[in-house]
């Protein structure tokens, strides 16, 4: 899959769920629950121990149906390791030009984390495909996205932090191109209780909310 194909699929889905667990069996169950819930996308955070091996295992089994990415990527060497393991896109919590440059060399989309106008401008200048605006809920939520797009109308902004089915439409109405979904979708309690069917149900609700909002927003 090319860089353009990957990015187009991400924009089409409009949702990037974030998973931070290290249990391989539970991770696979979450991945399948998302696919069943009409969100065939998953970002695996590399912060828990063993996450790179977990990413590779899921890529080997679900890589044809799941658009898998690596998150919490902090340096260029991790970009290389993650893409070798099967990550098709890279998400960082911060803005590091070396990470963006390595993603270009590896041919994968990259979404660095940024919050301020200065950081967002630097990310765009460095060639980021989109910007993960985090923590968006702490600085105004949809209103902050709308305010940022006034000086940066060409920016592709992906809000992260407090995004859920109840406010997804407001984010897209404000101009977000996609959203990140964390604990509101992949809830630790549901995972610990083995209630993966509930994750599927929540995924369907979020996917439906996003689809409905896009029918309203031009």
Omega before 86 cis (within 30°)? no
Query: Of 156, 162, 169, 159, whose CA–CA distance to 206 is shortest?
Result: 169
* 43 in catalytic set: yes
140 conformational bin, left if phi > 0, alpha if psi -120 to 50, beta if neither:
left
* 132 in catalytic set: yes
CA distance 108 to 106: 6
Catalytic residue among 26, 102, 104, 132: 132
Which residue is it, tokens 């990957």?
A: 6
Q: Which residues, in sequence order, are CB contacts of 218 under 8 Å at separation 6+?
A: none
Q: Mind giving me the DSSP string for 69-108? A: EEES--SHHHHHHHHHHT-SSEE-SS--HHHHHHHHHHT-
Q: Which residues, in sequence order, are CB contacts of 13 under 8 Å at separation 6+?
A: 39, 40, 41, 67, 178, 207
Catalytic residue among 43, 102, 104, 193: 43
Instruction: List the catalytic residues.
Output: 43, 132
């Amino acid at each position: 899959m090319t860089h353009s194909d990957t990015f187009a699929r991400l924009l089409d889905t409009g949702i990037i769920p974030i998973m931070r667990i290290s249990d391989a069996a539970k991770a696979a169950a979450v991945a399948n629950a998302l696919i069943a819930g009409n969100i065939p996308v998953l970002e695996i955070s590399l912060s828990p121990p063993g996450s790179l091996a977990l990413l590779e295992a899921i890529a080997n089994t679900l890589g044809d149906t799941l658009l898998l990415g690596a998150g919490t990527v902090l340096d260029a060497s991790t970009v290389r390791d993650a893409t070798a393991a099967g990550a098709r896109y890279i998400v960082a919590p911060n803005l590091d030009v070396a990470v963006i440059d390595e993603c270009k060399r590896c041919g994968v989309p990259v979404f660095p984390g940024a919050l301020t106008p200065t950081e967002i401008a630097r990310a765009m200048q460095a060639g980021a495909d989109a910007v993960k605006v985090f923590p968006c809920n702490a600085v105004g939520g949809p209103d902050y996205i709308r305010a940022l797009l006034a000086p940066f109308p060409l920016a592709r902004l992906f809000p992260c932090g407090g995004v859920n089915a109840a406010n997804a439409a407001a984010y897209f109405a404000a101009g977000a191109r996609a959203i990140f979904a964390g604990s509101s979708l992949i809830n630790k309690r549901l995972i610990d209780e083995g209630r993966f069917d509930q994750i599927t149900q929540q995924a369907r609700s979020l996917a439906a909310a996003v689809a409905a909002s896009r029918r309203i927003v031009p």
